């Protein structure tokens, strides 16, 4: 069984109503795509093609999901599982409020940034475990994640690049310190690691 399939099964044990839905024919995804294009002045124009979105117990995926490698799908699933757990911890309404409102929905979204810091820390951990620490240290990955925080894709949620860079470096430093786990470690079997 593939790593991503094992992880989907683990997520379904934790969240029994979890499902994966392609964005292409989903009306909610199409509406969100148009709304995001408007409020980001066209900066978020890859929502349907490149972004994975959890709402409730549903992971909405772009067309590229089926062509994505098993390991990369597992990394995405681990990131999105963090959001599922955040929603459970805070409740749907508070989670949605934190993600969408404080301090400002666009330009300084501290709530969204805090939630994404936790999820992207898991992305880096999963990358290090499944691809190796060098992959987590990759310059292209670093820039992609920093741009998610400082750029228009997430509505310029935290425009303080130096702070994001410090967070990123600290997260990598923490991973390097705890790099005693064997390469390829898959935490999908740890169902209740929170």
pLDDT for residue 103: 80
pLDDT for residue 190: 41
Q: Is 19 helix (H, G, I), strand (E, B) or coil?
A: strand
Q: What angle do CA 65, 69, 73 make, to 5 degrees?
A: 60
pLDDT for residue 102: 84
User: How many Cβ atoms from other residues are within 10 Å of residue 52's Cβ?
Assistant: 19
pLDDT for residue 185: 44
Q: How far apart are CA 157 and CA 26, in angstroms?
A: 26
Percent of the chain with pLDDT over 90: 74
Q: Is 157 helix (H, G, I), strand (E, B) or coil?
A: coil
pLDDT for residue 153: 87
Task: Give the pLDDT confidence of 160-180 residue by residue, as tens digits.
Answer: 999 999 999 999 999 888 765
pLDDT for residue 180: 52
Q: How far apart are CA 64 and CA 60, in angstroms?
A: 12
Q: Which residues partner with 61 through β-bridges?
A: 22
Q: What is the DSSP letter of 179?
A: T
Which positions ≥6 away from 188 have C-beta within 8 Å? 3, 6, 7, 10, 74
Instruction: Determine the length of the chain.
Output: 194
pLDDT < 50 stretches in the chain: 181, 183-194
């Amino acid at each position: 069984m593939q790593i991503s399939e094992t992880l989907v099964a683990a997520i379904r044990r934790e969240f029994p109503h979890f499902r994966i839905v392609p964005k292409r024919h989903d009306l909610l995804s199409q509406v969100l795509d148009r709304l995001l294009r408007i409020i980001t002045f066209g900066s978020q124009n890859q929502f349907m093609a490149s972004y994975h979105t959890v709402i409730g117990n549903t992971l909405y995926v772009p067309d590229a999901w089926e062509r994505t490698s098993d390991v990369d799908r597992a990394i995405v699933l681990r990131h999105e599982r963090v959001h599922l757990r955040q929603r459970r911890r805070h409740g749907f309404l508070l989670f949605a409020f934190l993600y969408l409102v404080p301090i400002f929905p666009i330009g300084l979204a501290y709530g969204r940034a805090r939630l994404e810091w936790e999820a992207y820390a898991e992305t880096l951990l999963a990358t290090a475990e499944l691809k190796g620490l060098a992959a987590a240290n990759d310059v292209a990955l670093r820039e992609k994640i920093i741009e998610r925080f400082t750029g228009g894709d997430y509505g310029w949620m935290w425009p303080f690049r130096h702070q994001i860079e410090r967070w990123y470096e600290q997260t990598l430093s923490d991973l390097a310190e705890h790099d005693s786990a064997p390469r390829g470690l898959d935490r999908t079997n740890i169902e209740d690691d929170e």
